[in-house]
Structure 1
Amino acid sequence: MTTLTKVFIVVLAFCAVAFSMLVIAFASQTKNYYKEAQDNRAWALQEQAIRSSGESLNKVTLENYQSQISNLQKELSDLRTQTEKNAGQMAAINNQLLAEQQKTASLTGQVTQLTSMINAGDAERKELQTQLQNVRNDNTALRTDNLKLAETNQKLELQAQLYEQQIRLLKEQNFSLSDRVEKLRSKVQDTAAGNAPSQTPGTGPASVSGTSDSPIIGEITDIRDNLAGLSIGSAQGVKDGMEFIVYRGAQYLGKLKITKVLPEQSAGEFTQRQGDIHKGDKVTDKF
């Protein structure tokens, strides 16, 4: 076998192998194309079904949208009607609001006027309170003056009683002096006629000053704190517990209560003092 034949056989074998591979590849490619074609057909059928279903769904959706649009148009018409009605009500409410605002303005004016009246009333009340306080102060001052006047009146009454007592004492002294003068005249006449003087019982200064209606009069001889000594005692009719009035001229000075009695002097305790009391001031048991 020649070399050329060997080469030819090798080339032929190579071509056979290549052809076999091509056949196998073609068969495999053809199978793939067939499968792909079936897949494409199934996909196309599926897409067609989906499109058919989508069209039905779109139709239903469109009908729903049209129904909704119809309902919305009806609602819009109702809303327009309600809006017109509300506009009328709003106009009525605005009119009422305007009327209420006018009433409010009127009430505000009345409130302002009432506030002014209240302020004026408060000012008048404060003025009346001030006047009332002044009246109370005047009343207090008048009460104080009344108390002072009452005290002064009491002092004046005591002074008047002392004056009456002094007048009564002066009358008694005048009567005693008149009696003495009459006795002296009688004595002079009796002496001139050569007769002895006679004295009628129950007459004379002793009997006059010793009567029960005559006041007991003395003076203060000593003062120690709230105690005082007097120049009169049991011989002049002073008794324990008696109360004497202390005076100086026409001035009332106080009261003194007897706590100890001797024949010619006594001692007592002051129960009331108005002013300074000194030795020599007078005391009496009757006004």
Structure 2
Amino acid sequence: MQLESYISDLLYRYDCVTVPGFGAFLTNRVSAKVHESTSTFYPPKKVLSFNEQLQSNDGLLANYIAEIEKIPYNNALHKVSKQVRSIKSYLIEGETIQFENIGELILNSDGKIVFDPSNHINYLTDAFGLGHYTSSAVSREAYKETVEKLEATTPIVMTPEKRSNTNWLKYAAAAVLVLGLGGYFGYNYYNTSIENHNQIAQEEANAKLDAKVQEATFVISNPLPAATLSLEKQSGNYHIVAGAFRVEANSVKKVNQLKAKGYKARTIGVNRYGLHEVVYASYETRAEAQRALYNIRKTHNRDAWLLIKKLD
């Protein structure tokens, strides 16, 4: 039994997953952050931790295993206990236990379990598809400070220019006035001519169009029967997510690829981070969705996960 696979499934939806007789894996949500020295942006995520003192059985893990493997609850609880005994024996022998996508467990010199979480997966479903990225540093130039320094050291002095003869300015002003009046009247005449021409052309076109419409006769002697399409509408609040895409065209492409493989794929809208979510299918009950998720992970996509969301 792959115990870490069941624990990993539950960490997407619950903040605490207890392994009876062993300890509990806890998640704590942290906000997005920026590493100033490397200019790297990290999305929000769930940080994993382990508490060895929380060993009481809350039924979550055993019920989930019983539902997935279709076995009685007591049998599932017995399998967990057997797996825990095996893990503890390996830890006592000094070996490191590797839980895939969760982290490593090892005993320290005091006999306490030390947990080193894995950073390969983000269990925060709201941040699905978001990864970290590094931005180049922004260089800013202080032009304003440079100008202020120059003005302080080099004052600007305005010296009026002396002119001996200003008679030619009078003639120039008169010429500008004459040219302006002539251009104004010419421009009005040109616009009036253009409007008259356009109006005549429009009236001729309307007359020809009316004549064509009156001559045309449309007769459908054998009309086609009305087509009736029967479309299957998916419903349910349990969705198996195939991926989330920043570009909508990529989500449409993913839907077409999944439909070609026989899945009832579709998009279910945009999440809070602006990503277009694509699902394999939607289901009415949790049990039906869990069975489908198990098959999809086994045959097509190990990273598929179950989203519980009521669609409008």
Q: TM-score range with shorter-chain normalisation?
A: under 0.3
* TM-score after normalising by structure 1: 0.20
Q: Bigger relative contact order, structure 1 or 2, given CA contacts below 8 A and separation 6+?
A: 2
User: What TM-score do you get using the length of structure 2 for normalisation?
Assistant: 0.18
Which structure: larger Rg? Answer: 1
Which structure is higher in helix share? 1
